[in-house]
Structure 1
Amino acid sequence: MNFQAVLFDCDGVLVDSEPIVNRVLFGMLQDLGWSTTPLTREAVDQYFTGRTIRDVMLAWAQDQGNTLPADWMDRFLAQRNAALSAELEAIPGIHGAVEALHTRLSGQIACASGADRFKIELQLRQVGLLPWFDGRIFSGHEMVASKPEPHVYLAAAAHLGVAPARCLVIEDSAIGARAGLAAGATVWGYCPVGHGRAFEGLPVQRVFQRMADLPALLLG
């Protein structure tokens, strides 16, 4: 298909942020002393990856039969932002891929993330990707509902003036892939390790392992 726009997720696609954020989250959940459900780093990774902290913390608290301290979210955001500012790195090969697609598609690329706008912009600025997406950043926090609902991808496509069916979505999680598919876009899964099991059962058209290969896969 001749795609007219490429819509990138952010966390795990443009930046390697999920291990950092989940580490901070795991530590703060340990500090709360919750024990109803076994709390392991693996459980936190599985439960939160691809989801918004805002949306799932209430469900997590309910599962634990507990409530969040009033200042918990503010403290989490402060620790998260500090860790990202100190440690965040770009996904290997993403700079060349973004520049090539931006050039070939005459700027018709966007970042459509479930994260809050401050986090998205902090991360893109931190790794030098913000100029490629400035003015074309969309946050699930600003939508009626975030991923796996399609709103953030529909908003990005509408802003670019491209029908969702002519958009390619790049995702690293099943939740994000479901959002892109629900929007009517074609979805490719980025999976740097393993065999794309995260996308099993979903009509993801292609799974690839190296972001540096994306321009050739799409344009070659």
Structure 2
Amino acid sequence: MHPRKPALISALIFDCDGTLVDSEDIGIAAMHAHALPYGLTLTLDDVATDFRGKSMARNVAELARHSARPFPDDFTATAREAMAHRFRRELKPMPGALEFIARLELPFCVATNGPRDKTELTLGLTGLLPYFEGRIYCAYEVGHFKPEPQLFLQAAAGLGVAPEHCAVVEDSVPGIQAGLAAGMQVFSLCHPETIPPALAGRITQISGVSDLKDFLG
């Protein structure tokens, strides 16, 4: 059952990976496989949840910390290439996302911890990019990453909507934390058991992007 319908939603701010495009599992698996030749001791299950919504730099550092041999200087660049290769073969939009965005009448944008080239690639591969042209906000450009709120605050300013009238759609705990810190309503696609109890009562759980229609006027 959903909590009481949030009021006065005037704009939607979407995360990208795992919210609009089904890239989280693909990207994490590619990164994990790329680190295995260096004696990585973490299993894919170890990183599958922990890496969601985190910056590439943080995740590479975590892989390096659990590897027997040091990574080369170009590890991050070659890992991104491996991820992009798998995206081109396997990536799909999240169920219902393309159809919902195509009909959405409220102002909206995407705000992501990922870099612009990756975001444009994944949105382009899934048919979503035309809807987000000129409406992509990246933490690398803002200089602040989720769970800090600045990325969402800049996105709200770009949309011309006060933060309290924006709703964030997220699939990671850092994204949820960022949305709440920005004073926004938050819709969560996370598995409920992964959400800390202190956050659970402050968000609205949904099973997919298309569920948002039940909360919009």
TM-score, normalising length: structure 1: 0.88
Aligned match of 2:32: 26
Instruction: Tell me whether 1:168 sits opposite 2:164 in the alignment.
Output: no
CA distance in 1, matches of 2:209, 2:186: 15
Asked if the contact 1:7–1:109 (Cα under 8 Å) also holds between the matched residues in 2, the reply is: yes
Aligned match of 2:208: 210
CA distance in 1, matches of 2:209, 2:144: 28
Question: Once the 2 structures are TM-superposed, how far is the Cα of residue 54 of structure 1 from its aligned partner?
Answer: 1.8
Asked if the contact 2:40–2:63 (Cα under 8 Å) also holds between the matched residues in 1, the reply is: no
Code of the aligned partner of 1:83: R
Aligned match of 2:100: 97
Question: Once the 2 structures are TM-superposed, how far is the Cα of residue 68 of structure 1 from its aligned partner?
Answer: 2.3
Instruction: Tell me whether 1:55 sits opposite 2:58 in the alignment.
Output: yes
Question: Once the 2 structures are TM-superposed, how far is the Cα of residue 86 of structure 1 from its aligned partner?
Answer: 1.3
CA distance in 2, matches of 1:116, 1:204: 29
Code of the aligned partner of 1:97: F
Code of the aligned partner of 1:142: E
Aligned match of 1:113: 112
Aligned match of 1:150: 149
Instruction: Tell me whether 1:16 sits opposite 2:22 in the alignment.
Output: yes
Question: Once the 2 structures are TM-superposed, how far is the Cα of residue 173 of structure 1 from its aligned partner?
Answer: 1.0
CA distance in 1, matches of 2:117, 2:188: 25
Please give the secondary structure, in 1, of the residue aligned with 2:216. helix
Asked if the contact 1:188–1:204 (Cα under 8 Å) also holds between the matched residues in 2, the reply is: no
Instruction: Tell me whether 1:86 sits opposite 2:89 in the alignment.
Output: yes
Structure 1 runs of 4+ off > 6 angstroms?
A: none
Uncovered stretches (5+) of structure 2, i.e. residues with no partner: 1-6
Question: Once the 2 structures are TM-superposed, how far is the Cα of residue 60 of structure 1 from its aligned partner?
Answer: 4.0
Residues 66 and 147 of structure 1: is their aligned pair in 2 closer, same or farther, counting only changes over 3 Å?
A: farther
Question: Once the 2 structures are TM-superposed, how far is the Cα of residue 30 of structure 1 from its aligned partner?
Answer: 1.0
Question: Once the 2 structures are TM-superposed, how far is the Cα of residue 85 of structure 1 from its aligned partner?
Answer: 1.2
